[in-house]
Amino acid sequence: MNFQDIFKKSFIEGFTGSDISTTKIVVTLFVTCVFALYIFAMYRFVTRKTFYSKTFNIAIAVISIITAGIILAMQSSLVISLGMVGALSIVRFRTAIKDPLDLIFLFWSISIGIICGAGLFEVALFMSFLVTIALLGLDLLPVAKAAMILVINCEDKAIEEQIISTVKQNTKLYKVKSRNISNQSLDMVIEIKTKNEGQLINEVSNLDKVMLVSLLSHDGEVTF
């Protein structure tokens, strides 16, 4: 038997497929479900301070189980493997990811399905442990404080210099974002970084012709 015959034989055997025991299927899907529930709980815990989508959380948990089932099916036959590749290549997902953290959990869920489907449960366990440490540890690292927004409404546009001078004395950094002049009135929006919020509001509100002062904070992106 030459090399060509050996290659043809092995190739044909690949198309015939191999049986996967029921025990392996049950164990694989059960372990995948355990990891899926863990990812479900972690997503709920990590997103407790931000926007939480229950439907997305359910989706990423179920994706692990579906992916594990696909991997098990692909192991049974080369024909199914090629068919899966062709079928999945035409699938298009157009749902926008609103938070980069959601992308991490999505890849985590898919990876768990692939790894558990291949029977590498220890790899899935260590990877989940490291991902958990990274998510919780990096979240505790201190970051720069987000800038605040100071909104001022006054009757006389001539006091803009006084407002800027007062803001400059009570802030580490400020930037005028907008000016809106209507007749003699003036509306200003200033981005500031300060630790003296109360003192700043009091001094600005005590200026002559100032009608309204508002100081807003947000939990959005932080600029350094």
Q: Is the pLDDT of residue 122 over 70?
A: yes
pLDDT in tens, 12-68: 455 455 567 888 888 999 999 999 999 999 998 888 766 778 888 898 999 999 888
Check residue 209 and give left, alpha or beta (phi > 0: left; psi -120 to 50: alpha).
left
pLDDT of residue 11: 47
- What is the residue-wise DSSP string for 162-221? HHHHHHHHH-SEEEEEEEEEETTEEEEEEEEE-S-HHHHHHHHHTSTTEEEEEEE---S-
pLDDT of residue 142: 61
pLDDT in tens, 156-166: 777 888 888 88
Q: Is the pLDDT of residue 224 over 90?
A: no
pLDDT in tens, 178-193: 888 877 788 888 888 8
Higher pLDDT, 161 or 1: 161
Tell me the β-bridge partners of 57. none
pLDDT of residue 40: 93
Q: Is the pLDDT of residue 153 over 80?
A: yes
Domains and CATH numbers, the chain: 3-140 (no CATH), 148-216 (3.30.70.260)
pLDDT of residue 201: 80
- 157: amino acid identity, one letter: K
pTM over 0.75? The answer is no
pLDDT of residue 132: 92
CA-to-CA separations, 202 to 135, 148, 206, 207, in angstroms, rounded: 40, 16, 6, 9
pLDDT in tens, 63-111: 999 888 888 887 766 555 555 555 555 556 566 667 778 888 989 998 9
The whole-number average pLDDT for the span 125-134 is 93
